[in-house]
Amino acid sequence: MALDQTPPLNSLGFAKAPADTRVVVAMSGGVDSSVVAAMLAEEGYDVVGVTLQLYDHGAALAKKGACCAGIDIHDARRVAEDMGFPHYVLDYENIFQDAVIDEFADSYLAGATPVPCIRCNERVKFKDLLETARDLDADCMATGHYIQRKMGAGGAELHSAADASRDQSYFLFSTTPEQLAFLRFPLGHLPSKDDTRALAAKYGLGVAMKPDSQDICFVPNGDYASVIRKLRPEAADPGEIVDTDGRVLAQHDGVINYTIGQRRGLGIGGLADPLYVVRLDAEKKQVIVGPKSMLATRNVPVREINWLGDAPLTSREEWHISVKVRSTRPPREAIVRPQGDTTAMVELLTPEEGISPGQACVFYDTDSSRIFGGGWIHKG
């Protein structure tokens, strides 16, 4: 009887030696992706590092801690040199401008609260960069995201990171099954960020103690208003602050300076109860304010759903799962009622405040760490 000569699976899930497995690593220059690249290189994989130049590295944006600024490209290149694998910088500025920055500005002006990091993953990193990885004959692409990929009965599944405080599932819900089959997330199982930094020190990486990036890469210091003012100067036009009945309460100096749920800085005094921003109307140049009770939302319309369940979304009239409507909030119990293959009405069992069109609504299994995808909140 012939013995099965199939080699065991390597750590990336391929039945061949690491040296025969090519992996493209998306390197931002930060500690997470640098550790992934160094770890795989040490294990003997055929590593190719790729860093994306996403925007103009001018003085206004090239700041420490901003993703892919000039210093970050230098840091990624140094890691590749130290670990002995090739590294390439790809100019994706035009793609990034068209796919991410322009939509960010337009949706913000439309009164939404955009999440450009999701669109970047969806339209740039996991689309164009992933295709580049295939063109380089890679077997897979690895990133430094804190999320887990596990094999289930129906193929690759998306799961939350072991460290809940680092979990990035909210920003990766739109990853498709086809993309998930090609992607790897080597850090998702680590107990904490301290473990990642310990690995960086072990590999002798100069970025071991580099600070985490806190801001959207093209929005230095979190100043949305200044970026949008440059992209869409009309957003700084003055207008009126009105109540829900249309009565003028004050003047403002541009809708870009306000966000849904904002209370401070409205310039409205002498009221018994505080008022909050409940809606933005960029077309009329109006900031609409109302009582806090108007911020509480129970029913959330969701579209552009990327469904990652084993059975089709429309195979049930309703799904009892948990959802996350803000990246900083824990998942809450909800009922998802499909209205089509990519649309649904989500009922939150406990109403949440500050939900805004443009945010993501991400679906979670209540009994495990699995993510069932998600979609985009809209006005309905």
Angle made by CA atoms 83, 87, 93, in degrees to the nearest 5: 145
How far is the C-alpha of 315 from the C-alpha of 272, rounded, in Å?
50
Q: Which of these is catalytic: 117, 120, 140, 361?
A: 120
Q: Is 140 a catalytic residue?
A: no
End-to-end CA distance of the chain: 64
In angstroms, what is the C-alpha Rg of the chain?
A: 23
Q: Rounded to whole angstroms, what are the CA distances from 181 to 40, 47, 130, 169?
A: 18, 18, 11, 16
249 residue type, one letter: L
Helix-helix angle 31-42:193-202, to 10 degrees = 50
Q: Rounded to whole angstroms, what are the CA distances from 227 to 36, 219, 224, 309?
A: 32, 6, 5, 38
Q: Which of these is catalytic: 67, 117, 140, 217?
A: 217
Other Cβ atoms less than 10 A from the Cβ of 136: the count is: 15
Tracing tokens 């109302």 back to the chain, one arrives at 290
Exposure letters 204-215 (e unless 16+ CB within 10 A, then b): ebebbebeebee
Provide the edge-to-edge strand list for the sheet that holds 183-184. Answer: 87-91, 46-53, 22-26, 140-142, 183-184
Q: Is 361 a catalytic residue?
A: no
Tracing tokens 């322009």 back to the chain, one arrives at 102
Tracing tokens 């473990």 back to the chain, one arrives at 195
Task: Please provide residue 378's backbone torsions phi and psi, each rounded to the nearest 5 degrees.
Answer: -135, 180
How far is the C-alpha of 209 from the C-alpha of 372, rounded, in Å?
34
SS3 139: coil
Provide the edge-to-edge strand list for the sheet that holds 276-281. Answer: 248-252, 239-243, 286-290, 276-281
Active site residues: 120, 217
